[in-house]
Chains A and B, each alone.
Chain A
Amino acid sequence: MKIYNQKTHFRRWVVEIPAVVALLTILAWGQELKERAVAIRGAAIETISGGRIEKGNVVVRGGKIEAVGAEVEIPDDARVIEAEGMTVMPGIIDPYSRAGGVTGGGEFVRVADQFYPYQEVFKQMLPWGITNLSITPSSLGQTAVIAITPDLPKTMVINKDGNLFLPVTNSTSSLRVLRDGLALRPAGPQGQGPEIPTRAGRGRGQRRGDQTQQQQRQRAGQRAGQQAAGGPSSMADPLWAKVVKGEQYLIVDVANSATILYLGEILEKYPEVKVALNTNGSTVFETLETLKKFKPLLILPPRIENQPNRQYRINAARIAHEAGLEVAFTGLKPEAAAAMPGMRAGRGQRAAAPPTRGASEVNRDVPLFPVAYLVKAGLPREIALLALTLKPAQVMGLADRLGTMEPQKDANLLIFSGDPLDPASRLLRVMVEGKFVYENKN
C-alpha cells in the first residue's frame, strides 16, 4: 500500500524486484505441486512394517513415500537412483535426545518454546543416519519432535506438542510429582498441601499419634503442595490427563534402579498408563522382575554393558526383549549429550543423568555397528531394526508418519551400500522429507 502511495519517491527497480520475487515464488510453489518424483531402483528394502524386500523400488514424491514394493512401477518423470545391491531403510529416530541444549530449571519446560534450530549439532546427526529426534528437556516438561532438515530451519519442528517428560529419583519431592500428576491432583492452594501418599501411609507401623512426625509431614505437604504436579497446572495438567488415559506415552528418566521399584509401585494402580523409560542396561538387569510387571517401553543405549558391580557383560536389549519388553534405542551418535550447554537441575530435583553414549566417532560410516554387535550377541535382527525406527515413532505418537517404509509416510530414508547391519557396508545417502540432505562423499 505504502509503495503505491509513495510511488514517486522510488526508482523502478524497487517495484520490479518484489514483483519478480513474487513471480518466482509462485513458480516454485507450482513446481512443487507437480514435483518430480525420486525413485530408488533395485534396492533391498527394510520396510520394518512388511519385512524385507530383497529387490524392489521406492518412489518418493512431495516429501512422502508414494510407493514401495518389488513390483512398483517407476513414474516417467522420476529422477532414478540406481541402487542395485544397496539397502534402503527408514531413517533412524532417537526418542530421547538432548541435542540443541534445551535447559531445564523452570517449573515446566516446553522444548518447542526454547528450540533453536540453527545449530551445527543437528547437521552432525545426519552422517549417523538419524533423521528425527524427540528433544527432551532436562527437567519436567514437554518434548518436541524435529525432522533434521538443516536447510529448512523454520520447519524443523514437526510436533511442538510432544510427550510429557519427567525425571524421577527416589526422593519424596520427585516421586510426588508423579504421584500427584497421575492422580490428576491439582496443585494445592497455599498452606493446604494434599496428603502425601507414601509407602509409610499404606505400609505398616506408621504411628498416627506421632505428633512431631505428623507435623513434619504436614509441613512437607505444604511446601510440596506449592509445586505439586509441576507448577503451572494449565501446562502440565492436560498432558497428565492424556497420560492417565493412555493416549500418550509418559517419558520418564530414572536416576537409579531403586527408582524403578518405586515407579512399579506407583504405576501398579494405573494399568492404562504407557511409560517409556530412559535407562541403561545394568539397571534393566537389576530390576527386570519389576519391569515385567508394569511393562514400560525401554529406551536404551545400543551397547553391551556390564552387570551391576561386576565386569560380566550383558546384552540388555536382548534380555529386555526376551522378558517381553519393548525396546527403543537412543544415543546412536556419541556426543549429543556432551554438546549440551547450560544443563542444570530443576528445582528440588537431581539433574537427569545425560544418556551415556556408546558409539564412537569411527562409526560415522557404519552407524549401526553397535546395533549389529547386539544382533550378533543374540538380539533378533527385526527387533533391533524396530528399536531404531518404529518403536521411537510410537513413543512420540507419530507412528502414522514415521518409522516404516510405507506409502504416505514421510520420506525419511537411508541408503546403505549393503546390509545396514553389516560392518562392511556404508551409509551412502540420507533423505529427509523427500530431499537428500546427506551424501557420503568419502
Chain B
Amino acid sequence: MLRETDVYFKTRIPAVVVLLITLTWSVAAANPEDKSPPRYAVRAGKIVTCAGDPIDNGTILVSGGKIEAIGPRDQIEIPEGYKVLDHREMFAMPGLVEAHSHVGAQGGFNDSVYPTVSGLEIAHQIQPYNDALKEAIQGGVTTILYIPGSGNNLAGIGVVMKTRPGTAEEVIIKNPGCLKIAQAGNPERRSSGELGSGRAGMNWVLREKLRKGQRYYQKWLDYEQGRTDVKPEVDLQLEIFRPVFKGEIPVVIHTQMFQVVMETLRMFHDEFGLKGAIHHGTFDAYRVADEVAKRDFPCCIGPRVTVMDRENGQIVGVVAGYYARGARNLFVNVDATGSTQEDLHFQAALGVRYGWPEEDGLYGLTIRPARYLMVDDRVGSLEVGKDADIVIKNGPVMDLRSAVVKVLIDGEVVYDAAQDRRIY
C-alpha cells in the first residue's frame, strides 16, 4: 500500500511535498504513544460535581484521560496546549452510571441450563460501542454494569464497563464486577417443578450455593493466612465467591414485592453479610423500606417507576416510597435489554416527578451506583484524579427538555451533538 502510494506521489508530485507527506506519515506511524488523549479545558456555566457543592462558572482540566483540575473559572489557569471546550451557558456533570444493564452486547444474556451458574462470565461477550451503547452515550450514560439476565437463580458474573469505543480490554473497568442473583420473578418462568422455579426452591438453591461458596472462601482464606498448609483445589464454579465474601465485589439481587425483598434482606444482609443491593424492588416492596433503611442497604430501583395502590387507586412513585420511609441509598436502573439505556436520566426524572427529591436523584444517577459497584475511585463524580467522564447538557440535568450536547469518556470526546447525528 505504502509503496504504491509512494510511487504514485513520486511520479506525479514535486518531491518536497512527497517528503513532507511521508515525513508526517512516518512520524504518526512510528510514535503511537503520541496518540495519547488530547488535553481539554472544559468550561461550563454550572458544574454539578456530585462531590460537594456545584461550581458556578467552572473549568475542568482534562489530561491523560483523567481530571487534572476542577474549580471556579477564576481559580483555574488554562495551561498552554489545552483545547478549550467552551460551554459557558451549559451544565457539566459526571457521566451517568447504570448499575443494572444488559446491553454490553446485543442479546444472549441468559444461560439458564442450571438453576445456578456461578462460573459464567458475561465479560466474554462484550461488544464495545454497540448501537445500544452509542445511544446510551447520547443519554449521558458512560459507565454500565453489564450483567447476565434473570432467567435462573444465579446467572453468573457481571462486568463494569465504559460505553465508549475501544477494545473489550480498554472499556472494562472492573471484572469480575458483580455476582448476579435472581430471587423472584423471572426464574419462575422455568418449567414448574424444576428446582428453583418456585420461591422455596429458589431460596434453597441460593442458600446452599452461598454456603458452599462461603466454605470455599474460608478454605482459601485459611490457606492464605497460613492457618493451613493444604492448598485448596481451585473450583471455577466457586471462584467468584472469594471476592464476593471478601467484599470486593457486590451482589446484584433481582428481587421485587415486599415478601421477597424482606427475604433478600434476611439472606444477603443479615445471614451472609454481603455487599449487595436490591435491584428492581418494585411493586409494593417500598412498604418494607424502613427495614431497608435500618440496614442502609442500597436499592437500585426500576425499571417500573410507579405502582398503583390497590387500596385507594392511587399511583405511588416507587423511589419516593422508599425515600419517604427513610431509605437513602437509592439509585435507579432502566434494566435495558433493547435500546432504552439512554433513558437513565428519564427514569430518575420520573422518580423525582413522583416525589423523590431532585438533588437526591442526581446522586442516584452518579456517585451512588459508582460507590455500590466499588468503582467510585474512578467514576461517579467530578473530582481530581478521577476518569474524565463528563456530560455537557444544555439545561438542568434532570429536565427532560434539556439535551446532552457533548460527552467525554476517559478524556476523549465521544459524542458531540453539533456534529454527530442525534438519535436520542
Contacts and interface: CB of A to CB of B under 8 A. Distances in A.
| A and B touching (Cβ–Cβ under 8 A) | yes
Contacts of B81: none
Contacts of B310: 311
B313 to A, nearest CB: 4
Please classify the interface of chain A as helix (H, G, I), strand (E, B), loop, or mixed, using the class held by over half of its residues.
Answer: loop
B311 interface: yes
A4 interface: no
A286 to B, nearest CB: 13
Question: Chain B: interface secondary structure?
Answer: loop
Interface string A389-424: 000000000000000000000000000000000000
A310 interface: yes
Nearest to B314: A310
A309 interface: yes
B312 interface: yes
Contacts of A311: 310-312
A348 to B, nearest CB: 34
In this complex, the interface size class of chain A, counting residues with CB under 8 Å from chain B, is under 10
Interface residues of B, number: 4
A13 interface: no
B16 to A, nearest CB: 81
Interface in B310-342: 310-313
Nearest to B310: A311
A10 interface: no
Contacts of A312: 311-312
Contacts of B312: 310-312
Contacts of A310: 311-313
A405 to B, nearest CB: 44
Nearest to B313: A309
A374 to B, nearest CB: 22
A310 B313 CA distance: 6
A308 to B, nearest CB: 9
A123 to B, nearest CB: 41
Nearest to A308: B313
A140 to B, nearest CB: 36
A310 to B, nearest CB: 5
Interface in A328-344: none
Interface in A301-328: 309-312
A59 B402 CA distance: 88
A126 B311 CA distance: 38
Contacts of B311: 310-312
A309 B313 CA distance: 6
A309 B308 CA distance: 11
A312 B311 CA distance: 7
Nearest to A309: B313
Nearest to B308: A309
A337 B329 CA distance: 54
A309 B310 CA distance: 8
Interface in B286-321: 310-313
Contacts of B313: 309-310
A310 B308 CA distance: 11
A311 B313 CA distance: 8
9 contacts: A309-B313, A310-B311, A310-B312, A310-B313, A311-B310, A311-B311, A311-B312, A312-B311, A312-B312
Interface of B: 310-313
Given A310-B311, A311-B310, A311-B311, 6 more contacts: A309-B313, A310-B312, A310-B313, A311-B312, A312-B311, A312-B312
